[in-house]
Amino acid sequence: MDYLTSAECAKKWNVSQRRVAIYCKEGRIEGAFLMGRMWLIPKDAKKPEDPRRVRKIGQDKK
């Protein structure tokens, strides 16, 4: 299986490298693992939803 680093995934998903590392640490990217100090992520992994942008149902825009 081919793997990408967190920097490569950040560029691919248009997010910061830190955000990718947080996804990995929280277990939101299936198959990602830490090798030394570097996260390795499967090449075919899908970008998880950003929990900061999810709106609750029934919440009106102010």
Q: What are phi and psi of 46, to 5 degrees?
A: -95, 145
pLDDT score at 50: 76
Tell me the average pLDDT of the chain: 88
pLDDT surpassing 80 at residue 51: no
Of residues 6 and 57, more confidence is placed in 6
DSSP sequence for 14-51: TS-HHHHHHHHHTT-STT-EEETTEEEEETTPPPPP-T
Residue 20: band (very low, low, confident or very high) from pLDDT cuts 50, 70, 90: very high
Encode pLDDT of 28-49 as tens digits: 999 999 999 999 999 999 999 8
Q: Tell me if residue 56 falls in helix, strand or coil.
A: coil
Q: Between the CA of residue 38 and those of 24, 29, 59, what are the distances in Å?
A: 11, 14, 39
- What are the sequence ranges of the domains in the chain? 3-42
